[in-house]
A = this chain, B = another copy of it.
Amino acid sequence: MFEDKFSIRTKTMKRSAIRELLKLVLNPEIISFAGGMPDPSLFPIKLLGDAVKSVLEREGKRAVQYGPTEGHQGLKEELIKRLETRRNIKINENEILITTASQQGLDLVSKIFIDPEDIVIVGLPTYLGGLGAFHSYRARFIGIPLDDNGMRVDLVEEKLRVLRRGQHRVKFIYVIPDFQNPAGVTLSIERRKKIIALAEKYNILILEDTPYRELRYRGESIPSLFALAPRDRVVSLYTFSKVLFPGLRLGYILGDKEIINQLVIAKQSTDLCTPPFTQAILCEILKRDVIDEHIKKLVVRYRDKRECMLNSLDKYMPELPDLSWTKPDGGLFLWVTLPNYMNTEKLFSKALEKKVAYVAGSYFYYNDSGKNTLRLNFSYPTLKLIIKGIQRLGGLIKEEAE
């Protein structure tokens, strides 16, 4: 009815498959490995209540008034302090912008950089909320396959060379270096250095997305791209959705001050400011210096869940030559590759019949490939349900193989 009125982008924007799936799996009988939700039993609700009380007593009237687009002053100061002490990243106040979680970061970065037909280099597969944001500004994608050490950086230079020859405008490389969504793989330090060198050589930006970074269950932390690169080369997105409360929708962007300045201008017309009330609450929580303890608890719990899912896969998946899965060092997801002749989109309705849900891997590819892959989330379900759910999934795949 409004076809003659909608913008060109509207005709190409697609509903997020995952957000639609999440509605399907509200049925409590279905064991869901779809979604990417934190374990609700670990939400520190009492801490939140106490923080709200302090905020309302101390700065209630300010917290419910309009605030600066750049973000809550106290919160910015706490974040700058934490970045320096915990991550060894020194930034100035004009190199940070508070956002309504990192999805807004993806939107704003797209808004200030992407013109129609501009190219974004992405992982094959990659986070579908990233694809959605870039797509809504009509970007084109060039995909780089992943292996166990993350994006195949050795394949990037050849692409960049061809693109430069064709005078294509490459706007940035989108990288989720730690425990990538959806594949669960981590970019090695060598590849981090290499991709930064390439970005320097070809003068393109890197957009780094770090939602899972603090949720590491094995091995040593690897420096972020933002920490490794010159300040003007990387824009980095952070969120509190996985380590605290997704329902507060809080995150931040780090970048060169000129980029942050343009992001602030874009944000002004997007929502004026992130809610000062939720920002004041987060500031209070950070001041209490309990979040590291909380993250430790998450790591212990999720490490168990990861272990449990890997063990269950070993136990219940049929022995097939082309069946494999990743063994992530952290994060919320692992990635299963089935024999080529299986199609996880088609399999999904059978999975629902067996009362188990996943996300078909093809949604994480812009080019409709990955039909034989699927993503499993292990942070949300209980240990008991992980075992039971993988048993159901293993049964389904066994039936399909016969």
Interface residues of A (CB under 8 A from B): 1-2, 5-10, 13-16, 19, 22-23, 35, 37-38, 40-41, 43, 45, 48-49, 52-53, 56, 60-69, 100-101, 103-104, 106-107, 111-115, 118, 129, 132-133, 135-137, 171, 205, 232, 241, 245-249, 256, 258-259, 262, 264-266, 268-278
On whether A15 and B107 interact (CB within 8 A), knowing A2-B258, A272-B101, the answer reads no
Q: What is the CA–CA distance of A196 and B107 in the complex, to the nearest angstrom?
A: 34
On whether A100 and B103 interact (CB within 8 A), knowing A64-B245, A265-B13, the answer reads no
Identical copies of this chain, number: 2
Chain B contacts of A53 at CB under 8 A? 49
The minimal Cβ–Cβ distance linking A226 to chain B, given in whole angstroms, is 16
Q: Which residue of chain B has its CB nearest to the CB of A263?
A: B10
The minimal Cβ–Cβ distance linking A67 to chain B, given in whole angstroms, is 7
Q: Which residue of chain B has its CB nearest to the CB of A40?
A: B61
The minimal Cβ–Cβ distance linking A253 to chain B, given in whole angstroms, is 13
Q: What is the CA–CA distance of A119 and B15 in the complex, to the nearest angstrom?
A: 27
Chain B contacts of A136 at CB under 8 A? 111, 266, 269-270
Q: Which of B56, B67, B115, B247 contacts A8 (CB 8 A)?
A: B115
| B19 near A106: Cβ-Cβ < 8 Å | no
The minimal Cβ–Cβ distance linking A310 to chain B, given in whole angstroms, is 25
The minimal Cβ–Cβ distance linking A285 to chain B, given in whole angstroms, is 12
Q: What is the CA–CA distance of A271 and B270 in the complex, to the nearest angstrom?
A: 11
Q: Which residue of chain B has its CB nearest to the CB of A244?
A: B64
Chain B contacts of A13 at CB under 8 A? 262, 265-266, 269
Chain B contacts of A104 at CB under 8 A? 270-271
The minimal Cβ–Cβ distance linking A129 to chain B, given in whole angstroms, is 7
20 contacts between A and B (CB under 8 A): A1-B258, A2-B259, A7-B137, A14-B265, A15-B268, A16-B69, A40-B61, A41-B61, A43-B61, A43-B64, A48-B64, A64-B248, A66-B246, A101-B272, A103-B271, A104-B270, A107-B271, A133-B270, A135-B269, A136-B266
